[in-house]
Amino acid sequence: MDKACIAVFSFAFLFLIHYILLGGKKNNGGDKAVQLPPSPPAIPFLGHLHLVANKPLHATLRRLAGRYGPVFSLRLGARNTVVVSSAAGARECFTEHDVTFANRPQFPSQLLLSFGGTSLIFSNYGPHWRSLRRVAAVQLLSAHRVACMSGVIAAEISAMTRRLCRAAAADGGAARVQLKRRLFELSLSVLMETIANTKGTRPVADADTDMSMEAQEFQKVEGELITYIGAANMWDFLPVMRWFDVFGVRNKILAAVSRRGAFLRRLIDAERRRLGEGGGQGDKKSMIAVLLTLQKTEPDLYTDTMITALCSNLFGAGTETTSTTTEWAMSLLLNHPTVIKKAQAEIDAFVGNSRLVAADDVPRLSYLQCIISETLRLYPPVPLLLPHESSTDCKVGGYNVPSETMLLVNAYAIHRDPAAWKDPAVFRPERFEDGKGDGMLVVPFGMGRRRCPGETLALHMVGIVLATLLQCFDWERVDGVEVDMTEGPGITMPKAVPLEAVCSPRAAMCDVLEKL
């Protein structure tokens, strides 16, 4: 009997056990004293897993919210889940009940890839998490630390700009480029230098256009791991799938984790050797060097595992989210060329054409900030945020939420709520001009104490990269065809079709670009 048959018979056996044990019990929803959130019809044993199998998940849950309300419940296998799709519900969860929902659900897949659930992103709320959060906020991602990274960011952006110029020159003045690839390479290059004080290695002679070996390696590993992160991974909710593991999910996760660990250990060991030789001093000290220095005074806290886990979080969150957000922004702009012209006019007026836009310029570019805000509204980096879990019983939207219930907050649905936003699906940066968006809930980086600590760095990166691309190049759609805005599946909502566009150096910037 092959594995598939074993899995089917095991599934049928568990279904029977479930029916015998729970079939005669009353649903809590029938008790009027316990008012649970409304729920779609469920299938025995599976619950609502058949619904979350539809991708992308955030869009499926938005449609369900339209039918069952802004607070509704699901049962994913044996795990109770509440989905919140309104600004009022999100505020209630992350203000009044912020501590209650500060835990993370401990999915089997995440335990494998998050060092046993001890990493900053996936650890439960408590002393260990507070220590990690303090290290990240104070030592690694503070405003001062991000400001110290400006030189590295500027150098890497100049290198990308130079490569784009050379590609355009090689193609007769206008180059067709896949921006996703270049933006990921840029994000990883910045993090490689700031986290580990090293640069990527380009393996070919045509070094202006090819991704570094490290970028290719890390992108492949992260792509594999992202598949198993989130609330729609069936492997986490059906024990039978883990027991027999017909599809080899466990081995695939462990193999990718092993390659990621080897990648990070090489960086950490190299920086440890460098510190031993007296390198890495002052504000230019790499993030790994900062952690290794702290390890000398508090070895029980700053273990090698803790340092590896923090670096994993920094690389994982810092590459995919910033590159994807910038890709969505450029996709929106290409479908709205008048917005490009308006943004370029603002940059020309405030910065001019005699130098590249600098990080200090970006906060003064108000229309550019509106473009970024509108992009994050329409395409938040993590559309469902990361799952939370209740540690005690509480009430949300007037409904009872038992302890150990997974919470999914649908930022995508909140940002596109027609009751809050006029023409919510339309790209309109002007809706944020002159403070008109003040008071509206936009939560691309989460809320409350589990809010993303890398928000400052992400906004800094997206702002300066987008400003540079608009200042230095004119952009056109490939063959004049409108950019496909289909959303792909995944925790970070990638584009289903990677963005390709045609860029040509702007005539007004030729003198500056020739000196790069």
Q: What is the pLDDT of residues 288-305, one digit of tens each?
A: 999 999 999 999 889 999
Task: State residue 164's pLDDT score.
Answer: 95
311 annotated ligand binder:
no
Cβ contact 407:103 at 8 Å: no
Cβ contact 136:453 at 8 Å: yes
Cβ contact 256:225 at 8 Å: yes
pLDDT digits (tens, 9 = 90+) for 429-449: 999 998 888 889 999 999 999
pLDDT digits (tens, 9 = 90+) for 97-123: 999 999 999 988 888 888 988 899 999
Taking phi first (over 0 means left), then psi (-120 to 50 degrees means alpha), and beta for anything else, what does residue 85 get? alpha
Nearest in space to 83 (alpha carbons), one of 393, 494, 413: 413
Q: Which of 78-82, 91-95, 281-285 has the lowest mean pLDDT?
A: 281-285
Task: State residue 19's pLDDT score.
Answer: 44
pLDDT digits (tens, 9 = 90+) for 460-475: 999 999 999 999 999 9
Q: Mean of the pLDDT values across residues 331-356?
A: 97
- Is the CATH number of domain 3-514 1.10.630.10? yes
pLDDT digits (tens, 9 = 90+) for 246-270: 778 888 889 999 999 999 999 999 9
34 confidence band (pLDDT: 50, 70, 90): low
* Integer Cα distance of 99 and 232 in angstroms: 25
Place of tokens 């943004």: 343
Higher per-residue confidence, 379 vs 113? 379
Q: Where are the domains of the chain?
A: 3-514
Q: Is the pLDDT of residue 485 over 90?
A: yes
Q: Is the pLDDT of residue 488 over 90?
A: no
Q: Is the pLDDT of residue 23 over 60?
A: no
Q: Mean of the pLDDT values across residues 413-435?
A: 96
Cβ contact 389:103 at 8 Å: yes
52 confidence band (pLDDT: 50, 70, 90): confident
Taking phi first (over 0 means left), then psi (-120 to 50 degrees means alpha), and beta for anything else, what does residue 248 get? left
Average pLDDT, the chain: 88
Task: State residue 222's pLDDT score.
Answer: 82
Q: Which of 26-40, 65-79, 201-215, 415-429 has the lowest mean pLDDT?
A: 201-215
Higher per-residue confidence, 218 vs 295? 295
Q: Mean of the pLDDT values across residues 180-189?
A: 91
Task: State residue 53's pLDDT score.
Answer: 80
360 confidence band (pLDDT: 50, 70, 90): very high
Q: In 25-170, which ranges are E strands?
A: 71-76, 79-84
Q: Mean of the pLDDT values across residues 382-388?
A: 94
Q: Mean of the pLDDT values across residues 3-31?
A: 46
* Integer Cα distance of 267 and 311 in angstroms: 10
Q: Indicate whether this model's pTM tops 0.85.
A: yes
Q: Give me the percent of the chain exceeding a pLDDT of 90.
A: 64
Q: Mean of the pLDDT values across residues 139-154?
A: 90
CB-CB neighbours of 360 under 10 Å: 10
Place of tokens 């990240």: 136
210 confidence band (pLDDT: 50, 70, 90): low
